[in-house]
Amino acid sequence: MADAAPAATAPSLASLGLRHDRPLVIVDVDEVLGLFMQGFGAYVSNRGYELRVDRFALFQNLYAPGASEPVDIAVGRELFNGFFAEGCGELEPAPGAVAALSKLRPKAEILILSNAPAAAEQLRGDWLRRHGLPDALILSSGPKGPITAALVAQTFGRSAFVDDLLPNLDSVAEHSPQTATFQHVADLRLRPLAPRSDLHPRIDDWAELGEAIEAAIS
């Protein structure tokens, strides 16, 4: 199941039940496999706050009802940590994600790399299994390039990486330049707000994304 790891530390693929002799596809969870903003919005609403998707951000979109300024950063962090400890198992899968990864599984090893607090490990692993998603899971923190490079170095095949955040995509491109990078933003409200880069193909439809990943690792 999961090996919680800091950003620059990678467990062995074998310890995650993954083979070294097949392509490796590394996929984020929040706003890639799961509708994070939708789930987090429901969580904060139940605690008396509002999530207004006005910008590609998190805490700056959190408000007390009727307020014109976002909540204090400490309140945002408390809600964020509470969500991952209690509510992150309630996410809806991103449309098409389960089917796309099901098609990829015969062709590649799939590893879920999520920047989330350690408290999310059980809920996140259970969520993956409940929806029929690959459950080789690493919880990490910080830019994902170093850990991706350490994981890719263990393989003999091609590799691909999917995330919604350009800093993570740029980090992987820097540290593991042989890895194909793709940006995916699942939430319809976030898509027009999300920065994009010519360095990383932006594919928000999972059926199309799955085909692009397959082409990259073939």
pLDDT per residue over 151-197, tens digit each? Answer: 999 999 999 999 999 999 999 999 999 999 999 999 999 999 999 99
Closest C-alpha among 114, 176, 120 to residue 145: 176
Mean pLDDT throughout 106-124?
96
Taking the C-alpha atoms of residue 92 and residue 213, their distance in angstroms, rounded to an integer, is 22
Domain of 80, in residue numbers: 36-90
Which residue has 């098409």 as its token pair?
96
How would residue 210 be classed by pLDDT, with cut points 50, 70 and 90? very high
Predicted TM-score (pTM) of the model is: 0.94
Taking the C-alpha atoms of residue 138 and residue 116, their distance in angstroms, rounded to an integer, is 9
Q: Please count the structural domains in the chain.
A: 2
Co-location of 96 and 54 in the same domain: no
| Beta bridge pairs of residue 112 | 27, 137
How would residue 3 be classed by pLDDT, with cut points 50, 70 and 90? very low
Taking the C-alpha atoms of residue 41 and residue 135, their distance in angstroms, rounded to an integer, is 25
Co-location of 108 and 82 in the same domain: no
| Beta bridge pairs of residue 109 | 24
Task: Measure the CA angle with vertex 92, ends 16 and 187; round to 5°.
Answer: 105
Quick check: is 4 in a domain? Answer: no
pLDDT (0 to 100) of residue 5: 39
Q: Which of 44, 68, 90 represents a domain boundary (last residue)?
A: 90
Co-location of 167 and 122 in the same domain: yes
